[in-house]
Amino acid sequence: MVTVVNAVKEPWDGDIVVFEEPLGPSHWAPANNTYAASQANILVNGGWFWHSSMTNTNPQSVSYVVYDHLNVLESRYTNFILNVSPNRQGELDPNVVNRLAEIGAAWSPNAARPPLPPQPTMMEHPITANSASASSGNGNYVIDGSLGNPAPGGITETAWQSSVSLPQTVTLDLGYTYNNINMLNYLPSNDLTGGMITSYSLSASQDGKTSHVPIANSSLLQTAS
């Protein structure tokens, strides 16, 4: 499986949902989660990467890792990724090795947990549009991949916004005629509370100019360019 810590801002789909816990309470796997997921945090406070101060820093407690995380997240179908950083000799510091041994001795899997529910269809072969235009606003912002940094104060993304009243349209030019297209995904803006699309329709054309047929009622459902 492919996963990226910064999945919220990456233009490519990961195989599992990612929650980067240090970003705040909203980055915890919810209690009703049924997606294959992972959640990441650090064992020794000080950063994702090694610093000399970590050698003498007391790691997170066994209780914190096992009871507050592993046992909770296991029932939510979420792997807990515990970040540990090798020192400049390429080794884990003794405080880290010892704590990991204690964690391993204290935890055991819950064999009674129900199996992972059926998962939604994943995008296995993504296609990137060659260009984009819109009835208003800068349509290229839809596909430019500039998604910024989701960390607090670090968002510098670009997002398409219409400049006149609805309805509005965005046209994607794939630059080639593809068959068997069966999914269209979009990533809402990280920086806007109103970036969710609540109503839409899709049309496809093989030349970008004529025969824009609604996908739901068309034999062109899986052919577009």
Q: How does pLDDT run across 95-106, given as a tens digit for each residue? A: 999 999 999 999
pLDDT at 220 over 50: no
pLDDT at 225 over 50: no
φ, ψ at 79 (rounded to 5°): -70, 140
What is residue 218's predicted lDDT score, i.e. its pLDDT? 43
In a domain, 102, yes or no: yes
Report the candidate in 83, 73, 80 with the shortest Cα–Cα distance to residue 30: 73
For 192-203, how does the pLDDT look when each residue is reduced to its tens digit (9 = 90+)? 666 667 777 888
What is residue 161's predicted lDDT score, i.e. its pLDDT? 81
For 9-39, how does the pLDDT look when each residue is reduced to its tens digit (9 = 90+)? 555 566 788 888 988 888 899 999 999 999 9
Distances in Å between the alpha carbon of 124 and those of 78, 82, 183, 211?
A: 21, 28, 10, 28
Cβ atoms 162, 183 nearer than 8 A: no
For range 143-153, the mean pLDDT = 62
φ, ψ at 25 (rounded to 5°): -60, -30
Same domain, 97 and 168: no
In a domain, 83, yes or no: yes
Same domain, 65 and 34: yes
The residue written with tokens 């507050």 in the block is 68
Q: Which domain holds residue 51?
A: 7-106
Specify the number of domains making up the chain. 2
Same domain, 154 and 71: no
Same domain, 135 and 97: no
- Total Cβ atoms within 10 A of residue 159: 19
In a domain, 112, yes or no: no
pLDDT at 140 over 50: yes
pLDDT at 1 over 70: no
Same domain, 41 and 80: yes
Same domain, 224 and 128: yes
For 164-206, how does the pLDDT look when each residue is reduced to its tens digit (9 = 90+)? 888 888 899 988 888 878 778 777 666 566 666 777 788 888 7
In a domain, 224, yes or no: yes
What is residue 222's predicted lDDT score, i.e. its pLDDT? 43
Same domain, 101 and 127: no
Contacts of 81 (CB under 8 A, 6+ apart): 38, 39, 40, 41
